[in-house]
A and B are shown apart, each in its own frame.
Chain A
Amino acid sequence: MSHRSTAMVVAVVAVGLAVTACSTPSEPDRSPDIIHIGVQTDQPGLGYFDGQVRSGFEYDMANWLADKLGRKPYFVDLKPDAREIALRDGGVELMIGTYSQTDAREREGVAFVGPYLITQQGMLVRATDPATDPEAVRSSGTVCAARGTTSFDQLGELGYHPFEGTGDGDCVRLLLQGNTVRAASTDQLILRGWANADQRLRVIDGVFGKQERYGIGLRRGNRDLCARVTAALKEYMLSGDWETHYRNHFATAPGPGTKPDVNGLNRCS
């Protein structure tokens, strides 16, 4: 493992532990020129914040969309289980943070613009672990997933032994620490980011469960904002910047089915 990788992992774990404390601005600027966007901070490649610089596909996309909307983004760091509350209470107008569109979330009042990225759940283990597919982990170990995520729910639905972490960074920390969990599980794209950052980790080949269709979350009923964000996202996906940002952060071309059909974006209702 390189010094750079070690430093990155340490920084991500530290941010993961401290993110709650710094997540909510004490006096958010409510100027109409500012748009508050909920984000995640412990997902290398998608949404990562080392305390100084924010990086990842989702930050690039969020900046692009805010610019198109003519507003300055103000990022609000949120844990997965705080996303619905922040949207409902108006703490954020948009949620851009590996937020999977689900029927259950829609029933609970969240509207989704998108999807802008499609992935599926995978499994991260220590590099020394002999497991070759997710099935091998199901009967022989505990799997950590972040509280409030579809990954955690799906582990239970599929008969795994889930262990609740406070975030993806927390699960990776537990995985690296020792024997509490055998694997960490979330969306395959997020896991690849972690594995790229630390050679002690390895992503098991193979995915499982349902599609994770990342959408931009907003409170249901705001049709005007929904329509404007949908138009901006469509333009973004057609501009070529989607591919550029993807390659910048994942160092590879998107796999088949990763980029959604731009003509199949959700309709605002």
Chain B
Amino acid sequence: MESEAIERQPWPRWIVAVVVLAAGAITVLLLALGSVGADVAQVLALTTTLLTAPLSVWGVGSRLRSGRTRNPRRKVVIIGAAAVCGVAAAAALWFFGGQADLNVTGDTMLSRSTGLADGDRVELVGLGSVHPFAPPRRDNAKIRFSLRNQDRTGYCVGPAVVEFVLAVDSEPPDFGNPARRAHSGDEVDLDLSAATRVAAVHARVTMPDKACRVDLQLDRVLLYN
């Protein structure tokens, strides 16, 4: 009999262990990747859904055809509990380890961003009540920015330099001693570890052509340890 043949083949338990371990490892990895992990997770979730949906339909169909309707309840409970434990362990690691990068681009804005002339200064500020630098949620910030000349005339962006100044715990910014100097498209790293209450990040645009006006945009602001 076909059904008896199926009964004689035990479910390979090592597969369950492998699946649980893999799920846990992937979860930990995604969390460790920080904001990038969220993007990867979305892709994996979509792929998994697309793959498992037809497999489930196929599996139900096979059982109906074979007349096998036994509900493997115990196994489902074990697998579910193991998956929950894996996710919980990963989440605990993330919360208490605190090592994941934080993408705070959406929480950061500029005090002024358009029509900047040579010598103009701006400050990176939080959005509403959320301020990623007060207190700094990580020891370092990685900022990628770009400038744009909205006119068709003038060579403004190429020679423009943006100087970043860090003012810690309400100290006034010292533009005579910028922490970093960078061109449009560059990424700068700032050490925020000296700040206990607030790390204020200021930027100043310098351009050789005084008639130039540029827009400054934050492309990515990442906090990391």
| Chain B residues positioned under 8 Å from A104 (CB to CB) | 149, 151-153
CA distance A100 to B152 in the complex (A): 11
The main secondary structure of chain B at its interface with chain A is loop
Report the minimal beta-carbon distance from A2 to chain B, rounded to whole angstroms: 36
The answer on a CB contact under 8 Å between A103 and B157 is yes
The answer on a CB contact under 8 Å between A213 and B211 is no
CA distance A118 to B178 in the complex (A): 29
CA distance A101 to B211 in the complex (A): 15
CA distance A169 to B156 in the complex (A): 29
**Total interface residues in chain A, CB < 8 Å:** 16
- Output the residue of A102, A103, A266 with the most chain B CB within 10 A: A103
- Output the residue of B152, B154, B156, B212 with the most chain A CB within 10 A: B154
If A209-B211, A210-B209, A211-B211 touch, does A266 touch B152 (CB 8 Å cutoff)? no
The answer on a CB contact under 8 Å between A153 and B152 is yes
List the A residue with the shortest CB-CB distance to B160: A103
| Chain B residues positioned under 8 Å from A153 (CB to CB) | 151-153
**Total interface residues in chain B, CB < 8 Å:** 15
List the A residue with the shortest CB-CB distance to B211: A210
CA distance A180 to B224 in the complex (A): 64
CA distance A100 to B156 in the complex (A): 12
CA distance A47 to B158 in the complex (A): 27
| Chain A residues positioned under 8 Å from B153 (CB to CB) | 100, 102, 104, 150, 153-154, 157, 209-210
| Chain B residues positioned under 8 Å from A102 (CB to CB) | 149, 152-155
| Chain A residues positioned under 8 Å from B209 (CB to CB) | 210-211
Residues of chain B at the chain A interface (Cβ within 8 Å): 148-149, 151-159, 208-209, 211-212
Top 6 closest pairs, chain A to chain B, by CB: A210-B154, A103-B149, A210-B211, A154-B153, A153-B152, A150-B153
Residues of chain A at the chain B interface (Cβ within 8 Å): 100-104, 106, 150, 153-154, 157, 209-211, 213, 264, 266
Given contacts A154-B153, A157-B151, 5 further A-B contacts (CB under 8 A): A100-B153, A102-B153, A153-B151, A153-B152, A153-B153
